[in-house]
A and B are shown apart, each in its own frame.
Chain A
Amino acid sequence: MSSTAVTPASRLRVPRWVVPAGIAALFALAYLAFRGTGTLPHNSEAAPFTAVTELREWIDDHRNDNPLFLYFLNYIRLFVDALYTSFHAVLVAMGWPGLIGVMGGLAWLAGGWRVALMAVAGFCSFGVFGLWQSSVETLALVSAAVLLSLAIGVPLGIWAGMSARVRKAVTPVLDVMQIMPTFAYLAPLALFFHIGAPAGVIATMIYSIPPAIRITALAIEQVSPTAVEASASLGATQAQTLFKVYLPLARSTMALAVNQTIMMALSMVVIANLISAPGLGSDIIRGLSRAQVGIMLPAGIAIVIMAVILDRMMVSVARRDPHSRIGRGNVAAAGVLAVAGLVAAAFVPRQWPEDLTVSVTRPINEAVLWAETSWYGVTTFVKDTVTIYLLNPLETVFTTAPWWLVAAAVLLVAWRVSGVRPALTALVCLLGIALLGTWEHSMRTLTTVAVAVVATLAIGVLLGIAAARSDRFSAVQRPLLDAAQTMPAFVYLLPALALFGTTRFTAIFASIIYAVPPVVRLVEDGIRHVPTSVIEAAASAGSTSAQILWKVQLPMARRAILLAANQGIVLTLAMVVVGGLVGAGALGYDVVLGFSQRPDFGMGFVAGVATVLLGVMLDRITQGADRRSLPHKRKFT
């Protein structure tokens, strides 16, 4: 062997793993010593809860005499209500043939006869499922919310795209909005805007505005600076440059912004039913709370169909060849379709005819029952094993550990992974959770999240690696991932509920299938983006395929994998909270309870705030992915 020998000095050095292992052991010892002390048990009468409940009582009493409400909030509410009502009135006035015809026509303009056919068939299916009325309500609600989102988000996005200062101010707000679980938006809105359609529209609007701003800003930023400069050099005014250069060049990316906004709105519109927004959400929430898949499945499918139709339409608009115009034939066909529908509407009743509906509730419930009984052995085994050997012990550890020990652990981990500032933010969030009186339930939710995240990452990374290494596997998997990304979040609860009934495990299962697709995608892209030249260099040095994976691809894809972990955690938390509807308990359940039981409103509200704090904390702990330097720059003590 001609290679240089290992220097003696390195033999004296402590192996890398000793320090972390020692600290872990220290924590274990501390836990054993102080177990059961310094816990913060749940008390549904805690001061923050009752304070919020009282605040709501006060607001309800003074809704019509306090100037803030009288002259400001109530007007917003009235305006949004009028917007929703007029959308709804127009859609209803068109009648079902009219609406189907007009949607078909729009789809034809957007993407040709295939998309039109899909739109017509899709909208007919709403009627066939007996969901015409709720579908129209949902469409009206989504349209109103998306319109408002775009009316506010697009100008803001354009501004942020053109001014670095505005961008800097807006970005952190959007970051936080993005990790807020859907539930967190509802309670404050109920407080200020009461419940019903307007509050639902506003909640949906707020939830769906970040992509409208973010993607628009990105679209504007991406416009070639030379084109802008050329325009200025010819003496164009700011407005001329905006309308003749920025907007046309940003068009196709901005269509994606609209698309994302619609998708976000569709997934929020269901949750908004918790504050009594009308539409398909009511069937879904009813089905979820009664654990009746038969009630919710048709409504769930209807939402997915609506999402797919709108997605296809917007994507076709975004992908259209910028130089080609819509052919005259297509315009004519679209016009004929729309007019035919509207004319037909004059001759048939407004309501979808009874004899054209098919009731699927019963057969679905029976099928689910059959699945539950025949797979009972397997599903129960999986569920019980995870619950008894993983969930319960972990939950015991989290809930019986002294709060200061948990805080110290969070601080230490966040500091190691992400740095000082994020660690302090995480600590503040955790202390906030403790002060709000939601410690125990937050720890329970954290347990569920932890188990779900571990499973999500294990599955996601494995699938991602497999997809990156095999083109064929990737080709099979891609369409599934694409489809998964257009589906509203709660849809994932359906199969989970069908298989596992209402338990904590249901939420875990749902969050795994919800969060795995983006993780897979990020990991696959990360590995695929490792430069070919590096792979070739490794291969020419005689590395085996496994060596290339472990020594080249995975280390170089580290950033992408850490980002995937961060995304996985944030998504999992969002889903686990929604899982409160199907037996996940803890924070999610508190939120739901807060809407249904008036005296518990305060607890629900505070639980919503706690989910946000939890989300920010988990994000800060893991955000090192983006911002932290590469490993060789890190110092090991």
Chain B
Amino acid sequence: MSPDNAAIAVEGLWKIFGPKSERVLASEDKHLDPAALREKTGCTAAVRDVGFEVRPGEVFVVMGLSGSGKSTLVRCLTRLIEPTAGRVTIGGEDVIGASPAKLRDLRRHHVSMVFQHFGLLPHRRVIDNVAYGLEVQGAAKAARHERAREILSLVGLDGHADSYPDQLSGGMQQRVGLARALAVDPQVMLFDEPFSALDPLIRRDMQAEVVRLHREVGKTMVFITHDLSEALKLGERIAIMRDGRIVQLGTPEELVGAPADDYVADFVRDVPRSHVLTLRWIARPPEERENLDGPELPANTLIKDAIGAVSTSSRPIRVMDGEELAGVFDRVDMLAFLSGQETPATAQVGA
């Protein structure tokens, strides 16, 4: 994929906070680990040499613990935080070199953002909050209110247009935040830990909501989270950040199946692997004289969904990649895979 048809392309992005950050960037100090760097220069490198590309319509998740630089990274994309160095292109437009007017235009029409603490304006009614982006573009009141009402019904907030944000629950407030970001009809939506401040049940609803919206409106989304299960649920591809660097970038399956280092492995250890990995991971070449008339399953079936089939079939299951045979597996393979799991949840499923 070339940078031109990527929705977002980031290359060599650095953000160093602190005095004389330019000088630190020019020196070799930038490769010091965070504690040593702060000790020596008083600077903090929040984002270090990050590069990735996001495909149009993709949900791209950036995951990391607090302090890993993920929130700084997402703010650098539209220069809410000015990056120290690097290249960012959104929809083929250079962001770093953009003039203030150009940058404003980008923020007004192409990229919008949803915030962890909502950032709603308490003195405005819900409808005026949603219409805020259109208002700063200079849209007429009637037009922006009409659009805001459409979006409010899209996010399930019909009938709340005239409430004030503090009259709504946390989940509903974040729906307003979501609506505000959608109202300007951007190509790219950035989510900065949007559901971290919500109760677990509400959070699940909101995740489902994002999945639904993505299906319906098909925006490119960059989603920041510190919650691995959220990342696995939403992300088509996930970048794991640590100390400002991306340590691994891949599909959920790649992260769980082939962690790049101990840090990632540690991270994904408690994930029930049968819920993430597909049959590709346990399919093996058929042995000689093995029965090849067993049931067929597509290769992208999750392993947990094949447990039923394999336990009722006495013959090996054929894993099909389209029309081709990708491999086979039987009960023994399945049990061997499942017994490699230590989590009780999987153990119960396996039992």
* Interface residues, chain A, with chain B CB atoms under 8 Å away: 224, 226-237, 240, 244-245, 248-249, 251, 322-323
Are B123 and A235 in contact (CB-based, < 8 A)? no
Residue of A nearest to B137 (CB): A235
Please tell me if B112 contacts chain A, counting CB pairs below 8 Å: yes
Are A230 and B115 in contact (CB-based, < 8 A)? yes
**In B55-82, which residues have CB < 8 Å from any A CB?**
75, 78, 80
Shortest B127–chain A CB gap in Å is 14
Q: Point out the residues of chain A lying under 8 angstroms from B106, CB to CB.
A: 235
Residue of A nearest to B164 (CB): A323
Please tell me if B136 contacts chain A, counting CB pairs below 8 Å: yes
Shortest A320–chain B CB gap in Å is 12
Q: How far is the CA of A124 from the CA of B119 in the complex (A)?
A: 48
Secondary structure call for the A interface:
helix
Contact of A249 among B111, B121, B184 (CB under 8 A): B121
Are A244 and B132 in contact (CB-based, < 8 A)? yes
Contact of B136 among A229, A231, A251, A323 (CB under 8 A): A231
* Given A231-B136, A233-B78, A224-B123 contact (CB < 8 Å): no
Residue of B nearest to A236 (CB): B136
Most buried by B among A228, A233, A323: A233
Most buried by A among B106, B119, B177: B119
Q: List 26 A-B contacts (CB under 8 A).
A: A224-B119, A226-B116, A227-B119, A229-B75, A229-B80, A229-B119, A230-B177, A230-B180, A231-B132, A231-B136, A233-B80, A234-B108, A234-B184, A235-B103, A235-B104, A235-B105, A235-B106, A235-B107, A235-B108, A235-B133, A237-B104, A244-B135, A248-B123, A249-B123, A322-B122, A323-B164
Are A229 and B115 in contact (CB-based, < 8 A)? yes
Q: How far is the CA of A180 from the CA of B184 in the complex (A)?
A: 53
**In B96-141, which residues have CB < 8 Å from any A CB?**
103-109, 111-113, 115-124, 132-133, 135-137
Q: How far is the CA of A233 from the CA of B113 in the complex (A)?
A: 7
Q: Point out the residues of chain A lying under 8 angstroms from B118, CB to CB.
A: 226
Q: Point out the residues of chain A lying under 8 angstroms from B111, CB to CB.
A: 233
Q: Point out the residues of chain A lying under 8 angstroms from B116, CB to CB.
A: 226
Known: A230-B113, A233-B190, A235-B103. 14 other contacts (CB 8 A): A230-B119, A231-B119, A231-B132, A233-B115, A234-B108, A234-B112, A234-B136, A235-B106, A237-B104, A240-B136, A244-B121, A244-B135, A248-B121, A322-B122
* Given A226-B117, A227-B121, A233-B104 contact (CB < 8 Å): no
Are A249 and B122 in contact (CB-based, < 8 A)? yes
Shortest A514–chain B CB gap in Å is 38
Q: Point out the residues of chain B lying under 8 angstroms from A249, CB to CB.
A: 121-123
Q: How far is the CA of A303 from the CA of B12 in the complex (A)?
A: 67
Residue of A nearest to B100 (CB): A237
Most buried by A among B104, B177, B184: B104
Q: How far is the CA of A410 from the CA of B118 in the complex (A)?
A: 53
Shortest B249–chain A CB gap in Å is 25
* Given A244-B136, A249-B121, A232-B115 contact (CB < 8 Å): no
Q: Point out the residues of chain A lying under 8 angstroms from B184, CB to CB.
A: 234
Q: How far is the CA of A301 from the CA of B75 in the complex (A)?
A: 58
Residue of A nearest to B115 (CB): A226
Are B121 and A232 in contact (CB-based, < 8 A)? no
Q: Point out the residues of chain A lying under 8 angstroms from B78, CB to CB.
A: 233
Q: How far is the CA of A13 from the CA of B76 in the complex (A)?
A: 59
Q: How far is the CA of A228 from the CA of B117 in the complex (A)?
A: 12
The interface bits of chain B over 301-325 (1 if a CB of A lies within 8 angstroms of the residue's CB, else 0) are: 0000000000000000000000000
Q: Which 8 pairs between the two chains have the least Cβ-Cβ distance? A: A235-B108, A230-B119, A235-B107, A226-B119, A234-B133, A236-B136, A233-B113, A235-B104
* Given A234-B107, A234-B112, A245-B121 contact (CB < 8 Å): yes
Shortest A590–chain B CB gap in Å is 49
Q: Point out the residues of chain B lying under 8 angstroms from A244, CB to CB.
A: 121, 132, 135-136
Q: How far is the CA of A231 from the CA of B129 in the complex (A)?
A: 10
Q: How far is the CA of A248 from the CA of B165 in the complex (A)?
A: 15
Contact of B123 among A231, A233, A322 (CB under 8 A): A322
Q: How far is the CA of A229 from the CA of B190 in the complex (A)?
A: 13
Q: Point out the residues of chain A lying under 8 angstroms from B137, CB to CB.
A: 235
Q: Point out the residues of chain A lying under 8 angstroms from B122, CB to CB.
A: 249, 322
Are A233 and B112 in contact (CB-based, < 8 A)? yes
Are A232 and B80 in contact (CB-based, < 8 A)? yes
Q: How far is the CA of A434 from the CA of B18 in the complex (A)?
A: 45
Q: Point out the residues of chain A lying under 8 angstroms from B115, CB to CB.
A: 226, 229-230, 233
Q: How far is the CA of A224 from the CA of B135 in the complex (A)?
A: 20
Residue of A nearest to B136 (CB): A236
Q: How far is the CA of A236 from the CA of B78 in the complex (A)?
A: 13
Shortest B187–chain A CB gap in Å is 14
Shortest A116–chain B CB gap in Å is 26
Q: How far is the CA of A248 from the CA of B107 in the complex (A)?
A: 23
Q: Point out the residues of chain B lying under 8 angstroms from A322, CB to CB.
A: 122-123
